[in-house]
Amino acid sequence: MTKKEAPRTLSTTQTTFEIIELLKERGGARVTELANELDVAASTVHSHLATLMAAGYLTKEGDIYHLGLSFLELGEHVRTRKEPYPIAESYTEQLAAETDSRAVFTVEEHGRGVYMYTFSGEHAVWTYSTVGKRFPLYATAAGKSILSQLPEARVEAIVDEFGLTAETDNTITDREALREELAAVDERGYAYNHEEQLDGVKAVGVPVSGPDGRVLGAFSVASPANRMTGEWFETELPETILATANEFELEISLT
């Protein structure tokens, strides 16, 4: 779609969502804080807040506004609206138990990775992989797994939009290097993350496809780098995730 064909957007709606995002980031805020951050009149912010309050999407404690639990219902609807997504939950939990690590199921939306499910095993490490969090696809094992299954034009469009910013010293920041990496991932069936998103954390990811053959998401397992070594990291862990991915694909093909 060209710029001339771009749909008309509403600035008022944009402001509403900017307020929602700020309330999330700050864990709650006052009218004046939001107005100063957005550089809009306090009366305008108050009107947006009042509208959200009336609709049941905000709560107020003293003079501080917070996101309400109505967003929880929306989030759960989004996470379960596609039939394979809820099925992925049990397989993610299974991976965490089998590997004693942090297991995650990830999908792609609007060119970013989104954590759908995450479970922790005995040796799990905190990786900021909270449910709903968005992250750059090129810097993670799950993300590279998904990119390896997308058309080249789609991958290029994602890179054009978001760039290849270094998350750590090991992040791939060169287009040609990324192309080579994705080709290798596609050939072997799984991706490695060599401390490319977080220092001290390695991971392995495997893409999964839906019955239509298109990539649906990816399973990944992350653990401290000093644990991700040798045969376990290079062969055993990828085989474990591949087996889980195969089981998941088989189940959703039968539903």
What is the CATH number for 47? 1.10.10.10
Note whether residue 149 is domain-resident: yes
pLDDT at 5: 58
Q: Specify whether 27 is located in the same domain as 106.
A: no
pLDDT at 44: 93
- Please name the helix (run of DSSP H) or strand (run of DSSP E) that holds residue 44, with its range, or none: helix 42-54
Query: For the chain (length 255 residues), average pLDDT per consecutive 10?
Result: 60 90 92 93 93 92 92 79 85 94 94 93 67 92 98 96 96 97 97 96 96 94 93 96 96 86
Counting the structural domains of the chain, the total is: 2
Q: Specify whether 97 is located in the same domain as 60.
A: no
Q: Specify whether 106 is located in the same domain as 129.
A: yes
d(CA 112, CA 159): 10
Q: Which domain holds residue 22?
A: 8-68
∠ CA(97), CA(98), CA(99), 5° rounding? Answer: 95
Length of the chain: 255
pLDDT at 8: 78
d(CA 9, CA 11): 6
